[in-house]
Amino acid sequence: MTKTIHIIDVESGNLQSLANAIKRIGDYSISYIRSGTELQQKLPEISKLIFPGVGNYGHFVHEVFARGLSEPIKEYIASGKPVIGICVGLQAFFQTSEESPEVEGFGLIPLKLSKFNSHDPLFKCEGISKSVPHIGWNTIISTKENTSQLLYGMNPANKYYFVHSYAAIVSDEDIKKAEAEGWKLQLAKYGSERFVAAISKGNIFATQFHPEKSGFAGLKVIKSFLEDEKLITPSASTLVNKDPGIETTATGLSRRIIACLDVRSNENGDLVVTKGDQYNVKEASNDGGEEKVRNLGKPVELATRYFTQGADEVTFLNITSFRNSPLKDLPMLQVLKKAAETVFVPLTVGGGIKDMVDPETGALVPAVKVADLYFRSGADKVSIGSDAVTIAEQYYANGKKSTGKSSIETISSTFGAQAVVISVDPKRKYVSSPSETVMSVIEITDPTKYGPNGEKYCYYQCTSQGGRKTHELGALELCVACEALGAGEILLNSIDHDGSNKGYNLELLRQIKTKTSIPVIASSGAGNPSHFQEVFEMDCGVDAALGAGLFHRGEYTVNDIKKYLQDNAHMDVRYEI
C-alpha cells in the first residue's frame, strides 16, 4: 500500500529531488505542508515528517515561524513520531546561529552554529584560504560511543554531499556534553574544524549533509529513516577501511569530478547536448550546405549515464539562452525535471538566469523567480554568466557599492550563496606592459608563450553571450566583484582551452584561485585523466574539475578518471560501496 510522507515546504530550495529520492526508494507518495494550520490538521495522520531547508538560517527560520509551523512541529516532535531535519532543517533545531543571531530556532540541540574559518591554519599554501561555503563530498566519523552500529545506515566508508557555510563546530567538551544528554553524533572535518554531520536522539534525526544528493549512499540513509532502521549492524564488506596510501586533502573533501552538458536546440528544434571548440558548436556539412549543430546525445540520457559512472555533480548549460523563451517554456525546465528523477547528485543549471521579460505575457520576471522555477524543477544551483558581467561592470561603475537588486544578490540572499555559481567565459588578451590596462595582469615567464608581438603580459578578458561580446573587464575583477556580492562558487571556463584537449588553463586558474576564497571549478581543455591530476596537483588547489567533450565522445568514463586519480596519484575520490 502506498504510504504518504509529509514534507514541510517553506519554499526553500529544491524539494523535487527529495521527493524523487523518496519515490525511488519505495511505494511512497508525497504531501507538502506549507502552513501551521495544515500541519495541525494533519498531525494525527502523519507517520514520518521531513523538515528540509537550504539557504539562509534567518530567512528559513523566520518563514517557519511566520507560517505558524513552529508550535505544531514541536507538538509533532513531542508525540514521539519520527522527524528528520535536513541541512538548514537540522540547523533550525538549534537555539541560534551566528548567521542570524537575532533569530531563535527550536532550541532542541545544546550546541552552537558558527561560520567556518576561511583562514584555517591547516592550509599551508601561501595566500590560499579555505573555501567557504563547505561544498562537496565528505566522510563522516563516528564518535567512540557508536562505532559498532551504523546510525540510520550512515557508513564511514562512504561519502556524503555537504553544502553550507555554518555548522555546529564542536570541541571535545561539546561532544561530551551532547552525548551526556543522550544525543548520538556523527562528525565530519572541514580542514581543522570538526563539526556535526548528523545527530539523533529518540525520534529526532537530522543531517547537515543532503542525503537526497549523496548518490546511493544517501538513498540508504533516507531508506533507513523511512523504514525505522535506526541502528544497522554493518556487514564486513560494507565497512571498507580507507587505503592508508590515499591522501587526505587539506579540506577533508574528496576531489570532485563534474560532467558538463552544453545544451541547445538543433535544426529540428530538439534539445541536444553539443560541444564546441573554442565555443563554436557547428560542424561543416559534407555537402557544402548549412553547418549543423554538433549533436552528441540527449541531455537526460547522458546525465543519467554520468551519474551511474560516478559523476559527483552534473551541470547543464543552456548555451542559447540569449534567445528569449516564454517563462513556462524555459527549455531546461523539462530537462531538469526528468534528470532529477534519475540523478541523485547535485544539479546545476545555467543559461538565461537574469531578470527577463516574458515574451508571451510582457511581464517582468525577476531573476530570483527564474531561479526559483529551476530549483523547483530539481536544480540545486544556478549558474549566472552574461548577467554576472553586467552586474560586475555596474558594481565598479558605482564605486564598488552593491544595490541589493542584482540577480546574484537576490538569489544569494533568498537561497544562499551556495546556490549561486558564476560562470566565467574569459579569453586571453596580451599586453606589452601592465600600464596598458587597469586590469590585473599575469606576467608570462615562459618565452615560448609570449604573445604574437612578443608581449610578456596578459589578462583574461570577460565575454558574454557565449563569447560573442567582449568586455573591458578582467576575469579576476569579475570574480572578485561577484564574490563580494554573494556568489558562492566560480565555474571558470577558458575560451582559449575549450574543446582543445590540451589540459586546463593553469595560469588563469592560479590567478583566480589565489585571489578569491569561494570554491573554483576548473573547466575547459580536459582531454585525458592526467589533465585532472595536473589541475588537482596545482599548488593553489582547485576544488573541482569539470569535463565535457572527453565524456561525450566516449573516450573516458567518469570512473576511468577517478580510478586513474586514485591509482596513479593516490588522490581521494568518491566511490560508492
The binding site for L-glutamine comprises: 87
Element (H, E) at 561: helix 558-569
> Among 157, 170, 260, 327, which residue interacts with ligand 1PR (rule: CB under 6 A)?
260
Task: Tell me if 549 sits within 8 A of 516, measured CB to CB.
Answer: no
Residue 393 touching ligand 1PR (CB under 6 A): no
Task: Tell me if 471 sits within 8 A of 443, measured CB to CB.
Answer: no
Task: Tell me if 502 sits within 8 A of 534, measured CB to CB.
Answer: no
Is 62 in the active site? no
Rounded CA gap, 518 and 507, in Å? 18
Q: How far is the CB of 64 from ligand 1PR (least distance, A)?
A: 32
> Among 72, 89, 153, 352, which residue interacts with ligand 1PR (rule: CB under 6 A)?
352
> Among 425, 477, 489, 543, which residue interacts with ligand 1PR (rule: CB under 6 A)?
425
Residue 351 touching ligand 1PR (CB under 6 A): yes
Closer residue to ligand 1PR (CB): 332 or 441? 332
For strands 469-474 and 356-357, give the pairing.
unpaired
**Which is the catalytic residue, given 38, 99, 262, 393?**
262
Residue 498 touching ligand 1PR (CB under 6 A): yes
Q: How far is the CB of 103 from ligand 1PR (least distance, A)?
A: 33
Q: What are phi and psi of 105, to 5 degrees?
A: -90, -155
Is 262 in the active site? yes
Which amino acid does the sequence have at 376? R
Stretch that binds ligand 1PR, among 109-117, 122-130, 390-398, 493-501 (CB under 6 A): 493-501
Residue 409 touching ligand 1PR (CB under 6 A): no
> Among 49, 73, 281, 439, which residue interacts with ligand 1PR (rule: CB under 6 A)?
281
Closer residue to ligand 1PR (CB): 414 or 505? 505
> Among 523, 542, 564, 566, which residue interacts with ligand 1PR (rule: CB under 6 A)?
523
Cβ partners under 8 Å of residue 290, min gap 6: 267
Closer residue to ligand 1PR (CB): 344 or 556? 556
Stretch that binds ligand 1PR, among 2-10, 112-120, 274-282, 356-364 (CB under 6 A): 274-282
> Among 385, 426, 474, 503, which residue interacts with ligand 1PR (rule: CB under 6 A)?
385
Task: Tell me if 430 sits within 8 A of 456, measured CB to CB.
Answer: no
Residue 386 touching ligand 1PR (CB under 6 A): yes
Residue 133 touching ligand 1PR (CB under 6 A): no
Task: Tell me if 475 sits within 8 A of 460, measured CB to CB.
Answer: yes
Q: Is 515 helix (H, G, I), strand (E, B) or coil?
A: coil
Is 570 in the active site? no
Is 482 in the active site? no
Supply the DSSP string of 373-434, one letter for each residue: HHHHHT-SEEEE-HHHHHHHHHHHHTTS---S-SHHHHHHHHH-GGGEEEEE-EEEEEESSG
Task: Tell me if 91 sits within 8 A of 104, measured CB to CB.
Answer: no
Residue 493 touching ligand 1PR (CB under 6 A): yes
Q: How far is the CB of 343 from ligand 1PR (least distance, A)?
A: 17
Cβ partners under 8 Å of residue 495, min gap 6: 278, 279, 425, 426, 427, 463, 467, 524
Annotated binding site: 87, 352, 493
Is 125 in the active site? no
Residue 275 touching ligand 1PR (CB under 6 A): yes
Residue 218 touching ligand 1PR (CB under 6 A): no
Helices (H) and strands (E) in the chain, counts: 17, 31
Cβ partners under 8 Å of residue 109, min gap 6: 93, 94, 95, 168, 178, 183, 199, 206
> Using CB under 6 A, which residues numbered 426 to 465 contact ligand 1PR?
464
Q: If 0-12 CB within 10 Å is exposed, 13-18 middle and 19+ buried, where does residue 419 land? A: buried
Residue 262 touching ligand 1PR (CB under 6 A): yes
Q: How far is the CB of 171 from ligand 1PR (least distance, A)?
A: 42
Q: Pull the grid cell for residue 61.
A: 527560520
**Which is the catalytic residue, given 9, 409, 425, 498?**
425
Supply the DSSP string of 440-454, one letter for each residue: PPEE---GGGS-TT-
Task: Tell me if 17 sits within 8 A of 344, measured CB to CB.
Answer: yes
Residue 529 touching ligand 1PR (CB under 6 A): no
Q: How far is the CB of 352 from ligand 1PR (least distance, A)?
A: 5
Rounded CA gap, 406 and 388, in Å? 9
> Using CB under 6 A, which residues numbered 4 to 23 contact ligand 1PR?
none
> Among 86, 113, 311, 317, which residue interacts with ligand 1PR (rule: CB under 6 A)?
317
Catalytic residues: 87, 210, 212, 262, 425
Interface residues with ligand 1PR (CB under 6 A) are: 260, 262, 275-276, 279, 281, 317, 319, 321, 350-353, 383-387, 423, 425, 464, 466, 493, 498-499, 523-526, 547-549
